[in-house]
Every structure is written in structure tokens, then in C-alpha cells.
Amino acid sequence: MKKSLLALAAMGAFAGAAQAQSSVTVYGILDVGYVGGNERVASNNAVAKQTFSTFNQGAQSTSRLGFRGNEDIGGGTRAFFTIETQLQPQSTTFSSLQTRQAFVGLGQKGIGSFQIGTQNTPIFNAVCATDPGACNNIVGNVIYPSYTGVSTNGGNVNGNTNGFTLRTGNTLRLQTENISGLVANAIFVMNNENDTQGATASATPNGYTGGINNQNGWGLGLNYSIQKLLITANYQSFTSKNPYAATNTQAANGTATTGAPAAWTTGAGGTNVTDNQTYIGAMYDFGILKAYAGWINRKVTSQINSNNYLQRSAQQIGVRANLTKQVEGWASVGNGRYQAFGVGEPTANIVGWQVGSNYNLSKRTNLYAIYGQAGTSSANSSSLGVTSFNASNYAVGVRHTF
């Protein structure tokens, strides 16, 4: 009897030790408040205006729920995972859940780590580390263009969204440990499918489906920190080939890529494009305030016609400071250039600015107020039918992190 009790005690001790070597953390953000704004779109010699006012969510930070796990395997090796989904508190159901991140990885002390799954791109992580507005979702940020509105009237596409690809699925990430302030990370995206092309039932004429459907890409990020300075340089390139409804001739000569070009805006990839993106940013902590600067460039080129491309570049500066022990504020201003898809499309100027403030009730809860404006100059874009776009956006709310 005593031996049995001792055995049970020993088993309990070993189980407790094993459990102590692994952990799972539940985390998240709930962000709700009042959101309002207006937009003005000039299109085909007509002007469309819209104002909105709503109790909404995610103005400062996208609401989310996540699970993060870490296990010490031994010998300096660890296993880890993250599952993170977007939440929409204003929705009455959970049907609108969207995966933000979902990956599993291994890390080795002194070397680095790798992870596979859906995850943030190097540019997304770098932008949020060097953005005075901390990647909020209010209009006015030309590096991280967002808009918490109820409609875009088509005008928001004209240079005020799609600054870069935020995250990708089917992704392998490699990251080094911090070596004298330098951290390097790389991603590789691969999702290839090759189906036998066959004639469709209602081919007119000789329509074919199937073929190569490839989504590939890679990216590299370098972050260097020295004392109060952070510098980051990042590049990522994605390629999409998606044929559908090809004619018999296209299928025979290998040019069966007839899908309209679309940029990499989601984890699913793009359509028949090469999408190249670059971001360089910096942050310096002066003590009384932090100063930020960033430059981004993106060119999305059609696989079918290299003269058909979308291009967007922008630069931005900003500051963030603690005004009192509980109050912090930030401001940013930026401008850039934009050209829509289409051969011979004109370029347009884009501008934006934003101010905001937090009142910290505790380490986890804060009240906030944000206001921003953004606009695109007259461009007479034939493909969009839009000549100019202007928007203002504001929000007051409460955010709780856990």
C-alpha cells in the first residue's frame, strides 16, 4: 500500500514537472465605441457624398481572440503555436470569424525558429513597430491605409487602401535570434495546383478550365536596434498564376491565364500578377517623445501584359508622446502617388493625416479618441470611373486587452 502511494506521488510529481514545462496563454482585444465620418467621391462628372454614424468596433485595434502555446522540449529546443481569430462584437453571431494567424513552429536557443501556417508578413510586423498610430483602423494613415466606414463608394480603392499585403497562408517563416541588435526573418509562400485542362460543357468557343493555379512568394525583413533607435528594411514579392475559361488556342500555346489581375490583399493570394512590395521605417525614442518615419512602395504587374499595372508609393512622418502619466497622444502626416490598373492610366496624388489620444485607465484598459483625413487628387481614371476621393473618419471608444 505504501509503495502504491509512493508510486502515485512520484507519477504526480513527474506530471507536474512536465506540465510546468509547457504553457498555453489565452489573449485578446475587445475594442468598441462610436465611429463616424464622411466621404466624397467625384465620378464621371458627378459627386457622391455619404455620411455615417454608428456604434461599431475595431477603430483603434481589430478585436481578436487568440491562444498561444509554448513547450520546452529540452536541450534548448521549444515547440510553440498560435491560433488567432478576428472578433466582431457588433455581430449577433460568430459566423463572421476570420483567421488572423494559425501556425506551429520549433525554436532552438542560440539559432532561431521556424513556423508554418497563416501568419503576418514581414512588412506588416515592421509597419506596426514603426507606426505612430500603432496600425489603427481610422483613415488618414498613408502607410497603413484603413477606413472604418460603412461603404467606400468605390473611391476608397483609388489610392487609399491596399498599401501592402498584411498576412499570407501556406507560409514558412524563418527567424534568427537577436544578434547584437540585428534580427532577420524570411517567409516563403507556396500553394501550387496543376489540374488537367478540359473542355467546359458550354464552351463558346472551345472554352477550357483547369491548368496551373500557383500562389508563390517570398519576403525578407531586417530589424536593427541600437540604444533608442530602431531601423527596419523589408521586401516581399508574390506571384499568382490563375487560368480559367481559357480558349482552345490559349490552352495549347501555354498562355491560358485569362483571369483579371488582382493584387495580394488576403491570405488566399492574388490573380495573375507579380506583386512586389518594399517598406523602410525608423523610430527614435527621444525620451519625451518618439519620432517615426516610413516609406512604402508597391507595384502589382499583370502576368499577361506588363504594361498593365497598379503602383502606389507613400511616405509618412509622425510623433507619439506621453502627455501625462495617463494620457498619450500621436500625430502623423504623409503623402504619395497612386496609379490604377490599366495601360496609360494617369497617376494621382494621395495625402493623409491623423491625430489621436489615449487615456489609460489601467495597464489593460484605455479610452481613445482618433480623427483622420485622407484624399486622392483628380486623376480621371477611366478604369475606375473615379476622378477624386476625400474622406474624414473619427472614433471614440474603449479598448480592453486580456
pLDDT score recorded for residue 148:
59
- The rounded percent of the chain whose pLDDT value lies above 90 is 61
What is the four-CA torsion angle of 320, 321, 325, 327, rounded to 10 degrees?
Answer: -50
Separation between Cα atoms, residue 136 and residue 60, nearest integer Å: 4
Query: What does the angle CA 384 – CA 296 – CA 183 come to, to the nearest 5 degrees?
Result: 145
- The predicted pLDDT at position 339 comes to 85
What residue ranges do the domains of the chain occupy? 28-401
At 201-213, the pLDDT tens digits run 665 556 777 788 8
Model confidence at 335: pLDDT above 60: yes
Read off the pLDDT band of 388 (50, 70, 90). Answer: confident
| DSSP reduced 3-state for 191 | strand
What is residue 302's predicted lDDT score, i.e. its pLDDT? 92
With 50 as the cut, is the pLDDT of residue 137 above it?
Answer: yes
Break the chain down into helix, strand, coil percent, rounded to 5: 10, 60, 30
Q: Which residue carries 508510486 as its cell?
A: 7
The band of 158, judged by pLDDT with boundaries at 50, 70 and 90, is: very low
The 10 Å Cβ neighbour count of residue 364 is 11
What are the tens digits of pLDDT across the range 249-292?
776 666 667 788 888 877 678 999 999 999 999 999 999 999 99
pLDDT, one tens digit per residue, over 9-62 is 433 443 444 444 689 999 999 999 999 999 887 766 667 788 989 999 999 999
Q: Which residues pair with 167 in a beta bridge?
A: 120
Assess if CATH 3.40.228.10 describes domain 28-401: no
Asked whether the predicted pLDDT for residue 145 surpasses 80, the reply is yes
Q: Residue 200 is placed in which grid cell?
A: 467546359
